[in-house]
Amino acid sequence: MKILNCPINGPRPLQEFHFGGELRPNPLDRKDGADADWADYVFNRDGEPGVKREWWYHIPSGTWFIAERDNVTDQFQRTYLYGAEQTDG
Amino acid sequence: MPYRLLKYALHKDHPEPRMFRAPERLKEEYDAVIIGGGGHGLGAAYYLAKEHGITSVAVLEKGYIGGGGTGRNTAIVRSNYLTPEGARFYQESVDLFRDLSREFNFNLFYSERGHFTLAHSPASLNTQRWRAEVNKHLGIDSEVVDRAFIKKTVPEIDLDAGGHQAPIYGALYHPPGAIARHDAVAWGYARGADQRGAEIHQQTAVTGVEVRDGEVAGVHTDKGFIKTRKVLSAVAGWTTSITRMVGLRTPLVIHPLQALVTEPLKPWLNSIVVSASLHLYMSQSSRGELVAGASLDPYELISMRSTLDFAEGMSAGMLDLFPFLGDVKILRQWAGLCDMTPDFSPIMGTTPIKGFYIDAGWGTWGFKATPVSGKTMAWTMANDHDHELIKAFNLSRFGRFQLVGEKGAASVGH
Amino acid sequence: MDRRLPPREGEWIDRSQPVEFRFEGQSLAGFAGDVLSSALWAHDVRLQGRSFKYHRPRGLYSLAGHDANVIVEDGRRTNMRGDLLPITDGLDVYSVNTSGGLQRDRWRIMERFDRFLPVGFYYKAFHTPRWLFPHYENQMRQVAGLGRVHPGNAAVETPKDYAFCDLLVVGAGPAGLAGAIAAAEQGLKVLLVDEQPHPGGSLNWQWSGNPAAQEQFGGMLEQVRAHDNIELRCGTQAAGAYNDYWIALVDDRRLTKLRAKAMLVATGCFEQPAVFQNNDLPGVMLASAAQRLLQLYAVKPFDRAVVVAANSDGYRAALDLHGAGVEIAAIADLRHDGEPTGLAQNAADAGIEILAGCAIAEAVPSGGKARIQAAAVCPLEKDGSLRTGSLRRIECDGIAMSVGWSPNVGLAYQAGGRFRYAEHVAQLVPSSLPDGLFVSGRANGRFELHDQIADGRRAGLCAAAHLGRFDGNLPDSPQHQASPPSHPYPIFSNNGKKNFVDLDEDLHLADFKNAHQEGYDNIELVKRFTTVGMGPSQGKLSNSNAIRILARLNGASINETGTTTSRPFYQPVRISHLAGRRFHPQRRTPLDGWHRQHGAEMMHAGAWMRPEFYTTSGSTRDECILAEAKNVREHVGLIDVGTLGKILVCGPDAARFLEHIYTGRFEKQKVGRLRYGVACDETGVIIEDGVIARLAEDRFYVSATSSGAAVFYREMQRWALIFGMKVTLINATGHLAAMNLAGPKSREVLAGLTDADLSPDAFPYVGVKEATVAGARAIVMRVGFVGELGYEIHVPASQGWHVWTSLMEAGRPHNIRPFGVEAQRLLRLEKGHLIVGQDTDALTHPFEADVAWAIGKDKPFFIGSRSLDIVKQQSLDRKLVGLSFPAHRSGPLPQECCLIIHEGEIVGRITSIAPASTLGHPIAMAFLRPDLANVGAKVTIRTTDGRTADAEVAAMPFYDPDGARQK
C-alpha cells in the first residue's frame, strides 16, 4: 500500500485517504460562459497520462489537500493545502 | 472425440496455417486505420471487410493483439442492463457471441452459465427488479429470484454472508449470462479480418493523428506516416493518449480494475455470481480456476499494478459467500484499465473531427460488447454516421446533458 | 525398499520423532522434518502424482515447491504440494485429479490420444453443433481442475499481523545472510525471511561437502542469531511486493503485512530442467532436488544415475551423489569443452565417466512409466542438435539435470526492478532497480560462494547507505568470471514427443513450434495460447526455456523476445490468510439495545442497523407496520432517527455557504426556523435533501440522509475551501441521538418533559428550539416528515436512552408506540415526500422530482444551478407523480421498480409503493412521462409476473393536502 504525505498529518497509508478527482476551476469563475463551455467544465476531464493536480482527503482528520501525482507511475510528487501551491508538502 | 481432431493425428506436420499474416511494413495509405488491436478494433476490421467490403484497413497495435482489456477481463458476457439503450445494445452482442465460434470456426468456449446479481438490501433488490423488468420488456431473459431459488441453483452459497454482511435478499438472475475465452475472441477476429484482407501490425505504436481543417488526414506511427481519411480509436484504457493527439476532450478517467485466479479445482460452481455489496464477481473457468474480479480501484491510474488491499478484500468477500473456500489458494492477481464515463455507458461513434471515430468508455463492460462494438463501429465508419444501436452513446450527449442512465439507482439504504 | 541413509550432518529430519502417515491409502512412516515427497521417496515410492492433461506418472522434481508434479488432498484441505507439505502423524492424503487412484488412474488413457490433442486443441473443435458444446464442456471440466473443494468445511478466521523494519532481506542463503549482517552492523533493523524451515538456502545442500563453506555458514548464522538488529523468520515466504515496500509475508499460520523501507532480494535461482524425451518421468529430477533429497532428508535419490550437466554445479552434484553411494554411470556434459575447473578431475578420480558434448535424448521408461531404466545419451553436433545416429543407452534409475538457473526475481520485478539477459551468465540480471531495492547473490548473477557472500555484503551496505546509515565506500562485487552457469539452449528433440517444457500444463516442445507456426509468435501470445507458465507453479521451471525456444523460433535474441511479467503471488496463498477475520464495521445508534429488547426486527441500512418494525405476536410484518403507522396518525409514535446526518455549519459566511450548497435561500431565514433543502451536484442531479435549522445568525444545524451524510459532509468541506468562505463544519452525526415524536398527542407527551414553551405560537411548525428534554440539552425541531404534529429531538448520545425511555414512559397514557423505518416510509409516502436515492436515481434533477419549488428565486448561484439553467430549457421526459390504486381490487399489485407501459412502451416506473396505507387503499410514487401525468389519468403497470395493474394519477400529498395536521 502506498504512503501519502498529508500536509497536516504527515505520511499515512493510502487506505486512510479518499481520492477526490482532479483539481478543477472554481465553478463561480465558469458559470457565466456559454452552455457548451459549461458542459465541458462539468463533464470533461483531463484524463491524460501525466502529472496531475488532484484532491485528496484524509478521512480520519477530515483534511482536504492537493497532491501532485504522476498517474502513470503512481508517484506522489508534492502535497499541499488548497491555495498553498507555493509551499512544498 | 470430435472428428475435427482427427486431422492432427493423421498429419505428420501440424496442419494449421498462421492465424494472421505478419506484414513486413505499413503501406502508404489505407482506406481506414484502426488504432488498437483488441477485440473491439479487430472486430471493427473484421466487420468492415465482411459487411462493408472495406479491406484496405490497417489495425495498429503497440503491443500484441488482445493484450489490453481483451485479455485482462474476467470474460463475462451478459445483457441484463438497466436502460433500454444499453440492454438492446448488449443483447445484440450476446446474439452475435452465441454464433461466433461457428462463424470463426474457432471455439471461444462460450459457456452459458447463468448470472446472479445478488442483492444485499431491499433497495438493491429494487434496482435488480428495475433491470429485470426493462429486460423482460425487451425480450431479454432476466428475473428477480428469491433466496430459495439462489440456494437451489448455487447450494454452496451462504445466503447470510457469514453474518458479516447484510444477508442476501434475492438476486437478478440472467440465464444467458456466459463466460468465454477472452483471448480467443481477439484471435478469432484477427484471423477473420486478416483472411478478408485487413492488415494487423503488432508492435506498431501510434505517435500522432494528422488532422487538417477538421478532417483526419493520416496517422503517424513509430514506423512511419500513413495516409488515411478514417481513423478509429479503439484503445479503451489508453484512449486519453489518443484523444490528446486530436485535441478532443472527453469525460474519460482511467481506473485500474483488479482480478485474481485460484489454483484449478474440480468443477463445483456453475453459475456466475456477482455481489456489488461485496465488490465481487466470480465464476469457475472451464480449466477449473475460480476467476474473481472486484470493483474499480478507488483512484485514477494508468498502470496495471496489483495491490494487496484488493487481494485481501476479494478474499474476504469470497469467504463471506463461500466460507469453505478458506483453504483454496490464490495463484495470481493482475489488473486491467477501465476508461470510465460519468453515466457508465460507452462513448461510441462519430466525433466533431471528420473521419475520427471513437470507441471508448468501456469501463468494466468492454469485453461483453466486443462483437456489437465491432459491428456497429464498422457500420458507422462505412456510413459516416452513427449506427442506430449506438446513437445514444455519442460523445455529444454530454454537451446536450443527455446522459444514458446506466449508472442506475444510487442504491442507497435509508 | 528403504532409501533412507544413515544420519547426515545438517539433515533436517528429526530421527527421534517418527511419523506415521498414509498416502493413497498406504500406511508409511517417516520422520518429523520430512515433506511428503521425501518421505515417499525414502520408501522408493516414486510415482507420487499424475500430470494435468495426459495423466503421466510424475515424481519429485524440484523438491522445493517449484514444480506442481505432486499435489494431494486430504478430504478437507486441497491442492497441497508434496514437496512443501510436512508430514505429521495421521496425515492421510491422496493424489488429486485421478480416477480410481494414482496407480490405476483411468484417465492415463489420455496419453494415448495425445496426437489428437495438440496445443490449443480445444479451440479447434467441440463448437459445432452448438447444442453439443455444453456436453463437451462439461466433460472437459470434469477432467480438468485439480483438487476438490469441500462445501462442508467451516470458515477459518485467520488473524493477520503487521510488521515494520528498515530492510527486508528475502532469502537466508549466503547472499541474504551476508547482506543482513552488513546492514544490521550499520544499525538497520533487518527482517530476514526464508521460505524454507531452516536458514542457509543453498548452503544446506549445495555446499554441504565443503568444510570451508560450512564453517562460513556456521559463522554467519551465529552472527545473525546474535545480532539484536536482525529478526530471522523461516518458513515465511515473501508472497508479493506492493507499492512503497508493502510486502505480504505468508507463513503457515497467517499473513503478515510488512512495511519496509528497503528490500534486498537474495532469493537465489530456480534450477531449470533440460528438455528431452520423457524428461518428466519419476527418476528424472533437477540435480538440486537430488542434492536436497540427499542432504536435507538423508534419502538416497537413485542407485545408479546419469547426470546431465552444463556447469560446475552438476559436477558438484555428481560428486555429492557419488559420495553418498549413488553410482554415477556418467556425466553427460552439454559443453563440448567439458568442465573447465578441477571438478572435472575430481569426477574422473571418482571413476565417473565424463561424456563431453553429449546430451540425454531420452529417459527410457520401465513398464508403466513409473520409473526409468536407462538414459539414451547422444552426442551433440556443434550447433547443439542431437546426432541421433549415435545413441548410447546407459542403464540407470535416475537422471539428475544441472543445465542452468533462472533467477528468482519475481518479487524484485513487482517492486519495480527490470531485467535483461546477460550472456556472461546466460540468465537475466537486473538492468534497473528503483530506489530502495537491491538484488544480490545468484539472483544477481553471482554463483561462486565467495562472490555470493561479497555481493550480499555489498547490497547490505548499499541499503544502509540508501537509508542514510552508511557513508563509507561502497564495495564493488566481482562479476561472474567462469563459464556461464546456464546453458543457452538445453532443449533437445529426437523427433519423439513428450519432451516437456512445462510440466504443469503438459506442454512439450512441439506445442511451442506449432503455436509459433499458427502465428502465436510473441511471448505473451505464446503464453496465452499454450498456457505456458499459467499452471500452479507459475512458470518457475518453464518460462525460461519457453523464452529460449521462442527466441530461437523467431531468430531473435532473448532480450528482443522479452520476458513475461511477474504478478503476485510467489507461491499460492490461502484465501483464509488473505481474508483474515473479515471485519465489516457496523454502526448502531445509542438506542440500538432498546430496540432489540422490544422486539424490533433490525435491518441493515448502509453501515447502520435500524429497526424495520417491532414485532407483535400474532401479527404479520405488514400488519405490524400498518398498526405502527395508524398509531402515529391516531395517537403518537416515537422513531429513532439517530442515523440521520447531523452537521453544524457555523461562521460569518454560514448562510451564504448554505445558499451555495442547497438550491434554496437561507440568508433571510429567521433564527429559530427550519427550511427544507435540496442539494444537487454540478450536473444538477439531486444528491441530498434535509432540514436546515437556523440556531443563530451564524450557526445552522443541518440534517442529511443516513447513507449520504459522510459524503455530503466531505463535499461540503471541499466546497468551503473552494468558495473560500469563513465557515466551520462539524459532523455531529455520531455525537447525538435523535428521535422523532410524532402524532396528534405528541405535544402532550413532550410537554411534561421540557422547559420549552410548546404552545403553537411560541413553537410553531418549522420552528426549532434549544431546550432541555428530560433534563438533557436538546435541539427540538417541529418537522412534518410523517405529516403529523411532531418534534424531532436531538440530544447528546449519552442521554439518548434516558430521553427515549422518558418519552415512552410519558407517552404511555397516550398509547405511544415505537415505530420503525417501514412505517415511516409509508407515512412519508402518504405525505408525498420523496426519498433521495429511492424516488430519485443517478440522473434525477429537481424538475423531474417535482421539487423545483425548492429552488430559490433569482439566485445567482448554487451548485448545479448553471446545469439546471440548461436542463430547464429542455422538455421534461419524466416527472415524479402520485399513483392511487382502488381499495377493492383484484390481481397482483406492482412492486417498486415495476414499469408503467403505454402503447407497448416503457413510460414510467414505480419508485415507492405502499400495498396498504392508512388511507385504506394502495398508493405509490412513480416516474411518468409528463404528457400522461395529469391528475386523474389512468395508467397501466406491468407486474413482475407479466400481468397488469391499473392505477390513477393522484395529486400529492395523498394525506392531509393542506398540511393542517402537522401545524
Report the SS3 class of residue B399: coil
> Please, which chains are in contact with B (at least 3 CB pairs closer than 8 A)?
A, C
Q: Which of C153, C183, C203 finishes a domain?
A: C153
Report the chain B residue with the minimal C-alpha distance to residue C574. B329
Q: Say if B244 is an interface residue toward chain A (CB within 8 Å).
A: yes
Query: Which residue, C216, C258, C221, C220, is CA-closest to C236?
Result: C258
Host H or E run for residue B145: strand B143-145
- Cβ-contact C88, C20 below 8 angstroms: no
Determine, yes or no, domain membership for C857. no
Superfamily of domain A3-80: Folate-binding superfamily (3.30.2270.10)
Average pLDDT over chain C reads: 95
By C-alpha distance, the chain B residue nearest C901 is B137
Average pLDDT of chain B, as a whole number:
94
Distance CA(C248)–CA(B330), nearest Å, equals: 13
As a whole number, mean pLDDT of residues B345-365 equals: 97
Q: Coil, strand, or helix at residue C652?
A: coil
Q: Is C898 on the interface with B (CB under 8 A)?
A: yes
**In the structure grid, which three cell numbers stand for residue C511, read together?**
506445442
- Is residue C308 one of the residues assigned to a domain? yes
Residue window 274-293, chain B: list those with CB within 8 Å of chain A. Answer: none
- The per-residue pLDDT for C478 is 87
> Residue B101 and residue C870: Cβ atoms within 8 Å?
no
Q: Does B300 touch chain A (CB under 8 A)?
A: yes
Taking the CB of residue C155, how many other CB atoms lie within 10 A of it? 18
Per residue in C788-805, pLDDT (tens digit) is 999 999 999 999 999 999
Q: What is the CATH number of the domain that holds C248?
A: 3.50.50.60
Per-residue pLDDT at C106: 92
pLDDT per position as a tens digit, C306-332: 999 999 999 999 999 999 999 999 999
Instruction: Please tell me the pTM assigned to this model.
Output: 0.96
Alpha-carbon torsion (C46, C47, C48, C53), positive or negative: positive
Q: What is the pLDDT of residue B1?
A: 58
Nearest to C631 by CA among C827, C923, C791: C827
Q: How many CB pairs under 8 A join A and B?
A: 59
Closest residue, chain A, to C728 (C-alpha): A62
Which chain A residues are closer than 8 Å to C255 by Cβ? none
Q: How would residue B12 be classed by pLDDT, with cut points 50, 70 and 90?
A: confident
CB distance C399 to C358 below 8 Å: no
The pLDDT, as a whole number, for residue C564 is 66
How far apart, in whole angstroms, are the C-alpha atoms of residue C490 and residue C501?
11
Which of C130, C152, C155 comes nearest B319 by C-beta? C155
**What's the Rg (C-alpha) of chain B?**
22
- In tens, the pLDDT along A28-54 reads 999 999 999 999 999 999 999 999 999
How close A78 gets to chain C, by Cα (Å)?
Answer: 16
Which among C36, C38, C25, C427 has a CA at the least distance from the CA of C205?
C38
Query: Given CA atoms C299, C300, C302, C307 in this order, what sign does their dihedral have?
Result: positive
Q: Is the pLDDT of residue C841 over 60?
A: yes
B291 or C785, which is more confident?
Answer: B291
**For chain C, how many structural domains are there in total?**
7
Residue C250 lies in a domain: yes
pLDDT at C1: 66
In which band, very low, low, confident or very high, does the pLDDT at B409 lie, cut at 50, 70 and 90?
very low
Work out the minimum CA distance from B300 to partner chain A, whole angstroms. 7
Distance CA C114, CA C514 (A): 14
Q: Which of A1, A49, A71 sits opposite B308 (nearest CB)?
A: A1
Residues of B in contact with C577 (CB under 8 A): 315
Residue in chain B closest to C869 (alpha carbons) equals B401
CB contact under 8 A, B399 and A73: no
Say how many CA atoms lie within 13 Å of A59 toward its Cβ: 10
Q: Is C31 helix (H, G, I), strand (E, B) or coil?
A: strand
CATH entry 3.30.70.20 includes domain B115-175+254-336: no
Cβ distance A39 to C870 less than 8 Å, yes or no, reads: yes
C508 with C603, same domain? no
Q: Are residues C964 and C904 in the same domain?
A: yes
| Residue C152 sits at the chain B interface (C-beta within 8 Å) | yes
Pair C110, C11 in one domain: yes
Q: Which residue has the higher pLDDT, C225 or C120?
A: C225
SS3 annotation, C785-828? CCCCCEEEEEEEHHHHHHHHHHHHHHHHHHCCEECCHHHHHHHH
Instruction: Summarize the confidence of residues C642-654 as an average pLDDT.
Output: 98
Say yes or no for a CB contact (<8 Å) between B302 and A19.
no
The answer to whether residue C369 is domain-embedded is yes
Task: Note whether A52 contacts B300, CB cutoff 8 Å.
Answer: yes
Residue pair C221/C230 in contact (Cβ under 8 Å)? The answer is no
Report the pLDDT value the prediction gives residue B411, as an integer from 0 to 100: 34
Which positions in chain B touch C130 (Cβ < 8 Å)? 98-99, 101-102
What string of H, E and C letters represents the secondary structure of C116-148? HCCCCHHHHCCCCCHHHHHHHHHHHHHHCCCEC
Cβ-based contacts of C716 with chain A (< 8 Å): none
- Please give, rounded to a whole number of angstroms, the shortest distance from the CA of A40 to a CA of chain B: 7
Domain B16-72+183-252+343-407, CATH: 3.50.50.60
Measure A51 CA to nearest chain C CA, in Å: 18
What is the bridge-based pairing of β-strands C269-271 and C372-379?
A: unpaired
- Look at residue A89 in the predicted model and tell me its pLDDT: 40
Residue C198 is given by DSSP the state: S
Residue C486 lies in a domain: no
Indicate the residue of C78, C125, C683 with minimum beta-carbon distance to B4: C125
- E strand or H helix at C865: helix C865-872
| C111: helix, strand or coil | helix
CA distances from C13 to C4, C35, C39, C172, C293 (A): 11, 9, 10, 19, 11
Range scoring the smallest mean pLDDT among B273-277, B328-332, B382-386, C391-395: B273-277
Confirm if C191 and C224 have CB atoms less than 8 A apart: no
Q: Which residues does C343 contact at the CB level (< 8 Å), separation at least 6?
A: C312, C315, C316, C319
- Domain boundaries for CATH 3.50.50.60 within chain B: 16-72+183-252+343-407
Domain definitions of chain A by residue range? 3-80
| Interface residue of B105, B124, B133 to substitute, partner C, most C CBs within 10 Å | B133
Q: Do C65 and C179 fall into the same domain?
A: no
Please name the residues between 277 and 336 in chain C that touch chain B, using a CB distance below 8 Å. Answer: none
Are C628 and C756 in a shared domain?
Answer: yes
Closest chain B residue to A51 measured between Cα atoms?
B301
* C744/C752 Cα distance (integer angstroms): 16
Do residue B136 and residue C946 have CB atoms under 8 angstroms apart?
Answer: yes
C436 and C448 fall within a common domain: yes
pLDDT (tens digit per residue) in C557-588: 999 998 767 899 999 999 999 999 988 889 99
Q: Which of B65, B265, B287 sits opposite C149 (nearest CB)?
A: B265
Chain B touched by C704 (CB under 8 Å):
no
User: Which of C712, C715, C716, C866 to probe by mutation at the A interface, max A CB count within 10 Å?
Assistant: C866
Residues of chain A with C-beta less than 8 angstroms from the C-beta of B398: 39, 42-44
Nearest to A74 among B250, B253, B305 (CB): B305
- Residue B408 above 70 pLDDT? no
Same domain, C633 and C650: no
Domain coverage including residue C722: 645-732
- C678, β-bridge pairs: C689
Chain B closest-CA separation from residue C325 CA (Å): 39
What is the count of residue pairs from A and C with beta carbons less than 8 Å apart?
Answer: 49
Which residue of C73, C123, C941 is the best one to mutate when testing the B interface, meaning the one whose CB has the most B CBs within 10 A? C123
Q: What is the ipTM of this complex?
A: 0.97
Decide if A26 and C682 are in contact by the 8 Å CB cutoff: no
> pLDDT tens digits for C451-500?
999 999 999 999 999 999 999 999 988 899 989 999 999 999 987 779 99
* C616 and C763 belong to one structural domain: yes
The residues near C333 (Cβ < 8 Å, ≥ 6 apart) are C308, C309, C310, C314, C339, C354, C355, C356, C357, C358
